Amino acid sequence: MKKIIFMGTPEFSVPILEALLQHGYDVIAVVTQPDRPVGRKKILTPSPVKEAALRHGLPVYQPEKISGSPEMDELIALKPDLIVTAAYGQFLPVKLLNTPRFRSINVHASLLPKYRGGAPVHYAIINGEKETGVSIMYMEKKMDAGAVLAQKAIPITEADDVGTMFLKLSDLGKNLLIETLPDFFQDKLVPQEQDESAATFSPNIKREEERIDWSKTAAQVACQVRGMRPWPVAHTLLGGQRIKVWAGQAVETSTTDEPGTVFATDKEALYVACGAGTVFKMTELQPAGKKRMSAADYLRGSACEIQEGTRFDTDGQ
């Protein structure tokens, strides 16, 4: 059986690691990001992949930076047949990529060459894509630019957000990898070079990109909200205070109010004017310092600050 080094970090990667083990592959080492402080108390917490690896009694490596590290030398000395990565979170040196007999491959959550980079699921939803998928590709020095060995698409529904799509894509990725490996090891696959002219990118979400621009259409705002849920969560500002927007949708009505204006409320929602006269129905929110709640509960509360005529901060956009 081929010796595999697996590299991954978030929950997305765990089913892929476990599928390799379940199908009898010899995972000789797992590489993941170092433990990080989590929550208000900053409790040092292992990655989901580390937790899974320890459950299975696998050796774990956690270099802060893998390039030039002692851990990299140890991994090279293991003489793996293959390196499999899935959302590991660091660039790999060419020396390490070229170490395995069968090179190194990546399970990437997009239909390459679209959405290369660290946030492909977020951007696919934010941009209103109707489908996304998983690509298994050779790794090379240039980010996510290697030849594609296998690819499979799935639809993005209006009910999907980043959380649901990560689960679907993780499941799709593990199955596609297991289907692909036998032919891969027998050299039966024909790698397809990516069309560089069609490449798009999905860098990690920046803080300023989390803020809602109400001059966009309601449909675009709805996609942004879904494309940032459950993390990092889209927000708007009122009097400089952050209000997270957890859920809502574009509705079939129009308004002449300025974008960012709450021009109506009812028992279940806030109605916010957006660009081109469109309307976003906000159904779930989280005021600064408060818990996540339905708009209905918020509107019934004594601390409700948002009324008809309230306008969210739009300066700086």
DSSP 98: T
Answer whether residue 31 shows pLDDT above 90. yes
Model confidence band, residue 301 (pLDDT cutoffs 50, 70, 90): confident
Q: Which of 168-182, 217-231, 291-305 has the lowest mean pLDDT?
A: 291-305
Summarize the confidence of residues 233-243 as an average pLDDT: 95
Distances (CA, A) of 234 to 159, 214, 243: 17, 12, 9
The reported pLDDT for the residue numbered 316 is 54
Average pLDDT score, the chain: 96
pLDDT single digits (tens) 244-276: 999 999 999 999 999 999 999 999 999 999 999
Percent of the chain with pLDDT over 70: 99
Residues facing residue 272 across a β-bridge: 262, 280
Q: Which long-range contacts (CB under 8 A, 24 or more apart) does 182-188 make?
A: 184/102, 184/105, 184/149, 185/2, 185/102
pLDDT single digits (tens) 107-122: 999 999 999 999 999 9
The reported pLDDT for the residue numbered 265 is 95
Summarize the confidence of residues 211-237 as an average pLDDT: 98
Query: H or E element: which one contains 21?
Result: helix 14-22
Look up the pTM and report it.
Answer: 0.95
